[in-house]
Structure 1
């Protein structure tokens, strides 16, 4: 087991000193995705299931493979058509990106989203059975879904994907705060409970050691996001996972995502390092 927490000394500032540049960053991500899609060796709208929204885009080459789950609760980032921004730095190092669509609310509920993400991982393994490693990457709501994929009993699908690493900017690992707002609806409480990675302790223990987990949080993330990220990190550490958590100074929840389009960005480099090291291992 290996646990590591890295953070630079910063003043305790609960929120960003300036409003998040959400729309500017959305335009940047859209432009970066458009550029990536115009390059050769791109497969668009490949179905991974029977549902209308179950499509993914492949940015080749394919070994090892990287599966990018876009942040699904924010409409600007819900579509794979705006999730290929990471492709350029990855492909330049021989890494493929699969940008995945799934049905966000109100069309899709949380149970469906989790099921679709799991189906997409199974599809990727079946399509590329000789891959040297699948690395799940997600931001915000996408990171929550990646965490749920991490805690999957793959025996139910008849195969075990070659998962080698998980990298995510977590938005929420426990939906207990949501449950507090839906106390009058038992069905919704049950949905929140079974889709909270932090609450799936037994599955966390069962899955320990299957791959390496790299977690990230921003200095100007909301206090609740930071609390839940730290709590989930501690849970993974205590149950035998190889996990690291990095606290990035001077950025907010959206800065982290935009900068992943830059090959020299520290998190891009860490992701490439994880893929290079774990993709070549035979664990």
Structure 2
């Protein structure tokens, strides 16, 4: 099993992206786990789960605050205390102690969990249809979904106000085939192409400008393309995958127009964009685009889906018209022979079981194929918080 480790920085761009997408106040420890202050009470499909935490790890600043965590077991509550006490963390420990005393009594007032659901036939692994559908519905595990989606747009507006409007270029003949470039002032700078998420249905470049500022200030260009939604093209994922590939090819061939270095081109993506980033990274660039096999020098796939078979079996097939050809062609895990770049794979521990498994299995498969890969785990983060 591939163990999470601290990755060496593939590029300044990817290091900055990791810091911007997950948290500017969190660091990466020896196990590449990200922690944050949180108090959570969550209802899961399998029962009630509560986490009470006042722990914060920030290795950028060398702090470890006290923390407590409770996991409700069948026989009651088990508490684990982890503390590193000094003058700066005394307040954090006091808060942990206060919650340790208060939480059991507060949770005792919660209604009893519902009776276990009678499961139907297994559809995928140990999941029946209901569980599988929930495992590919991130909103089931992310009650703050709408708040975070609104923040994407608001933060992107703020970035444009500070950096100015992006340069807009057409990479194809249709109106949707355009990309935004947030240029850095450094000449011949590296380039990161970010592929946005949105369940393959939604999302636009302008609402995914929020990481641009840190890239630009670190001396890298930030590029985000627009592309069609699956429902705009009859339910097929093939057109959008082809558009994203052509956008990356355009950036490679035209990097000089905005001061970029085509030999330092990196791709990253999140959620369905993490899947599309995986598709880009497993493209046969020499055969399909007459470009170098290592056109992309590194990649980051955040919270993606890399084998489409279970996705095809889930409720997502209601709006995606899967075929055997599509499943095979667009499952990055089946095309690792074409992977020619070091890879970072990331997911959060509060994501759905299938999103966690997909990332772990993909990273393990890359490692088994003898390719360089690092696995990042965001402790306490749901899908949209990553």
Match for residue 54 of structure 1 among 172, 177, 189: 177
What is the rounded CA distance, in whole Å, between the counterparts of 2:282 and 2:142 in structure 1?
Answer: 35
What secondary structure sits across from 1:81 in the alignment?
Answer: helix
What is the rounded CA distance, in whole Å, between the counterparts of 2:209 and 2:297 in structure 1?
Answer: 21
Structure 1's 186 and 41: CA in aligned 2 closer, same or farther, altered over 3 A? closer
Is 2:209–2:224's contact at 8 Å kept on the other side of the alignment? yes
Q: How many Å apart are 1:14 and its aligned residue?
A: 9.8
Correspondence for 1:233: 363
Asked which structure has the greater RCO (Cα within 8 Å, sep 6+), the reply is 1
Is 1:71–1:140's contact at 8 Å kept on the other side of the alignment? yes
What secondary structure sits across from 1:250 in the alignment?
Answer: coil
Q: Which runs of 4+ in 1 moved over 4 A?
A: 7-10, 13-19
Structure 1's 36 and 82: CA in aligned 2 closer, same or farther, altered over 3 A? same
What is the rounded CA distance, in whole Å, between the counterparts of 2:43 and 2:327 in structure 1?
Answer: 26
TM-score normalized with structure 1 length: 0.78
Larger Rg: 2
Is 1:64–1:131's contact at 8 Å kept on the other side of the alignment? yes
What is the rounded CA distance, in whole Å, between the counterparts of 2:305 and 2:264 in structure 1?
Answer: 26
Correspondence for 1:159: 291
Correspondence for 2:193: 67
My pick for the range that moved more, 164-173 or 231-240, is 164-173
What secondary structure sits across from 1:166 in the alignment?
Answer: strand
Structure 1's 229 and 48: CA in aligned 2 closer, same or farther, altered over 3 A? same
What secondary structure sits across from 1:66 in the alignment?
Answer: strand
Alignment of 1:72-87 (within 5 A): 72-73=198-199, 78-87=203-212
Match for residue 23 of structure 1 among 142, 146, 151: 146
What is the rounded CA distance, in whole Å, between the counterparts of 2:295 and 2:268 in structure 1?
Answer: 14
Structure 1's 42 and 244: CA in aligned 2 closer, same or farther, altered over 3 A? same
What secondary structure sits across from 2:168 in the alignment?
Answer: strand
Structure 1's 44 and 128: CA in aligned 2 closer, same or farther, altered over 3 A? closer
What is the rounded CA distance, in whole Å, between the counterparts of 2:229 and 2:308 in structure 1?
Answer: 17
Q: How many Å apart are 1:186 and its aligned residue?
A: 9.8
Is 1:20–1:252's contact at 8 Å kept on the other side of the alignment? no
The answer to whether 1:148 aligns with 2:279 is yes
Q: How many Å apart are 1:72 and its aligned residue?
A: 3.6
Correspondence for 1:139: 270
Correspondence for 1:111: 238
Correspondence for 2:4: 5
Q: How many Å apart are 1:193 and its aligned residue?
A: 2.1
Map Cα deviations across residues 141-199 of structure 1 (whole Å, 9 max, x no partner).
Answer: 000000000010111211126422111213211111133366xx997232122211122
CA RMSD of aligned residues (A): 2.7
Map Cα deviations across residues 59-82 of structure 1 (whole Å, 9 max, x no partner).
Answer: 012610010100042656x10010
Match for residue 169 of structure 1 among 302, 310, 313: 302
What secondary structure sits across from 1:247 in the alignment?
Answer: strand
Is 1:173–1:196's contact at 8 Å kept on the other side of the alignment? yes
Correspondence for 2:78: none
Runs of 5+ in structure 2 lacking a partner?
A: 6-30, 36-41, 51-140
What is the rounded CA distance, in whole Å, between the counterparts of 1:19 and 1:173 in structure 2?
Answer: 21
Is 1:65–1:133's contact at 8 Å kept on the other side of the alignment? yes
Is 1:14–1:222's contact at 8 Å kept on the other side of the alignment? no
What is the rounded CA distance, in whole Å, between the counterparts of 1:59 and 1:42 in structure 2?
Answer: 8
The answer to whether 1:100 aligns with 2:225 is yes
Is 1:134–1:163's contact at 8 Å kept on the other side of the alignment? yes
